[in-house]
Structure 1
Amino acid sequence: MAGSAAYVPRRSVLYMPGSNARALEKARSLPVDGLILDLEDAVGPGDKVSARDAACEAVRSGAYGRREVTIRVNGVGTQWHEADLAAAAAAGPHGVVVPKVGSADEVRSLVAALEAAGAPAHTRLWAMVETPEAVLGVASLAAASPRLAVLVLGTNDLVKELRARHVPGRAPILAALSAVVLAARAAGVAVLDGVYNDIRDVEGFAAECAQGRDLGFDGKTLIHPGQVEMCNATFSPSEAEVAEAREVVEAWAWEAGAGRGVVTVRGRMVENLHVDMAREVLATDAAVRALAADG
């Protein structure tokens, strides 16, 4: 949900391999809020350099309209990381996504590297949280730099690192998911849920989207275009939620103007916190509608 008019919809953020020219072309017409042009897991060692060039050219093309376009670089310590980061900074995407960010010090180091490479002010850091170390230090990590805009859960790696299992309901990692959401809200940054692996399991995907929404995530990262529309719908306020939010705000304004201190809407007492939540719903709805109208 939105905290202000500056809210940026990130309901659906789709990974696209930087080495796949057809996928990069298709992404221009998808109803997705954001794209992560991937240089890491989706790209083999022999294609790393060409994928880097293609992703940076895609960013510079300006062909993705209102979509937020980011580049995921290879991780710190890999042979491609420094060149990836420098090239991404020069291309100037909305964000540079870095895998396995483990600490506040690493956030500050990455920000310093982006700035040294000449990244424009609008190019923000998106830090992937996917290790026990990162989860345990996520409060300080999230607050480490004003250039950090988004935390991205890497749930596949987190499950692996915990020696846990992927199960319906995600009980083995619920504590970690909630900790990251708490840290993001405390630091005032956005937070994205991890991917759902089985693109054929529509019911399971729907349930996990709903769970992520209920936990407080801004949206979800995706691995297939077929997941976009359901994800957008789940992370958008429903018509009923918008209607009720409008009633709350209007009733509050009316009663305040009449000098009354108590407001009741649909039989329920309304306080300041409910009005704030209603305004967030309306701001989110307005931002989503504006984004859709922009095509």
Structure 2
Amino acid sequence: MDRTDLRNCRSLLFLPASNPRAIEKARDLPADLIVLDLEDAVREEEKGEARRLAVEATNGGFDGRPVAIRVNRAGSRHFGEDVTAVRHATIDYLVLAKAETGKDAHDASWLVAKPVLAMIETPRAVIDANVIAPSSAGLIAGVNDLTAALGLPEQKDREGLIFALQRIVLAARAADIPAFDGVYNRLESDAGLEAECRQGRAWGFDGKSVIHPSQIETANRLFGPTEEELEAARRLVAAATGGAERHDGKMIEAMHVEQAHRLIARARR
């Protein structure tokens, strides 16, 4: 994946920074972005050691793939120590947990001198996502915290999150940055994960957060273009001659040709 184009990122693998074994295994996994987590995945008593391990792990690289570290939210008692440690890490992005304002994202980026992926995890963040997005390199939906904050019961179809997730995508598109769907909580790759990936892509997300190696292939496959989509795109590009015209029983114009070119380019990358 091109490090400069996050929209090529189909899978974001979140790993506890306190787990050296999982980190070593991740060096050979096909996730498009590795995220070493200092927040929810790490026990309070392990925070200090997790910082040290995260910085150390980034020095070894991940087979040329981009890597990020997720820090605790701005204003938390761990945030200062997190960003101080992360300054010494070899990372491409900083993931900011529970970003709520544009200032949160801007300040975190300035402190670490890295672009920020802001996690939208609270009602306030959803409402102000359009303000957070311009200070961010991408938005990540924090579905678990959002579900809890909204008081939603467990849902298979995520019906209660539709408005929030669409608002995240809209804010990202308005700022011309990518948006990533939240995690699927079951650890294995199953029909539920497939359904969420198809749903997330249909809603406009560029990729999905994953929490287990078995989920990577599904996210990569379903957030990447299919052979049928690629063939249709190639036919459309070949047939287009400019202006509005009929193709394959539909009316196409320059916008559709541009979409087809983007799909083909994404598959190449």
Q: TM-score under structure 1 normalisation?
A: 0.86
**How far does residue 201 in structure 1 lie from its aligned partner after superposition?**
6.6
Could you tell me whether the CA contact under 8 Å between 1:247 and 1:265 is conserved in 2?
no
Question: Which residue is 1:37 aligned to?
Answer: 36
Q: What does residue range 148-167 of structure 1 map to in structure 2 within 5 Å?
A: 148-167=136-155
Q: What does residue range 5-44 of structure 1 map to in structure 2 within 5 Å?
A: 6=5, 8-44=7-43
Question: Which residue is 1:277 aligned to?
Answer: 259
Equivalent position to 1:93, from 91, 94, 102: 91
**How far does residue 97 in structure 1 lie from its aligned partner after superposition?**
0.7
C-alpha RMSD of the superposition = 1.7
Percent identity, please. Answer: 40
CA distance in structure 2 between the partners assigned to 1:6 and 1:18 by the alignment: 25
Question: Could you list the runs of 5+ residues in structure 2 that have no partner in the other structure?
Answer: none
Q: Which structure would you say has the larger Rg?
A: 1
- Call closer, same or farther: CA 1:278–1:7 in 2, change over 3 Å: farther
1:266 aligns with 2:266: no
Question: Which residue is 1:291 aligned to?
Answer: none
The alignment covers a number of residue pairs equal to 267
Could you tell me whether the CA contact under 8 Å between 2:12 and 2:34 is conserved in 1?
yes
Question: Could you list the runs of 5+ residues in structure 1 that have no partner in the other structure?
Answer: 288-295
SS of aligned partner of 2:234: helix
CA distance in structure 1 between the partners assigned to 2:141 and 2:189 by the alignment: 21
Equivalent position to 1:219, from 207, 230, 233: 207
1:172 aligns with 2:160: yes
- Call closer, same or farther: CA 1:161–1:128 in 2, change over 3 Å: same
- Call closer, same or farther: CA 1:183–1:8 in 2, change over 3 Å: closer
Q: What does residue range 1-295 of structure 1 map to in structure 2 within 5 Å?
A: 6=5, 8-62=7-61, 64-114=62-112, 119=113, 123-143=114-134, 145=135, 148-200=136-188, 202-252=190-240, 255-256=241-242, 261-287=243-269
**How far does residue 108 in structure 1 lie from its aligned partner after superposition?**
2.4
For CA contacts below 8 A with separation 6 or more, give which structure has more relative contact order.
1
Could you tell me whether the CA contact under 8 Å between 2:133 and 2:177 is conserved in 1?
yes
Deviations 1:170-191 (A, max 9, x none): 1111000000000000001111
CA distance in structure 1 between the partners assigned to 2:63 and 2:117 by the alignment: 20
Could you tell me whether the CA contact under 8 Å between 2:7 and 2:206 is conserved in 1?
no
CA distance in structure 1 between the partners assigned to 2:150 and 2:246 by the alignment: 47
Deviations 1:88-144 (A, max 9, x none): 122131111111101122222223322xxxx3xxx311111000000011111112x
Could you tell me whether the CA contact under 8 Å between 1:251 and 1:263 is conserved in 2?
no
Amino acid at match of 1:137: D
CA distance in structure 2 between the partners assigned to 1:219 and 1:90 by the alignment: 28
Deviations 1:123-166 (A, max 9, x none): 311111000000011111112x2xx2111111000010011123
CA distance in structure 1 between the partners assigned to 2:149 and 2:267 by the alignment: 37
CA distance in structure 2 between the partners assigned to 1:200 and 1:46 by the alignment: 28
SS of aligned partner of 2:209: strand
**How far does residue 8 in structure 1 lie from its aligned partner after superposition?**
4.5
Amino acid at match of 1:60: N
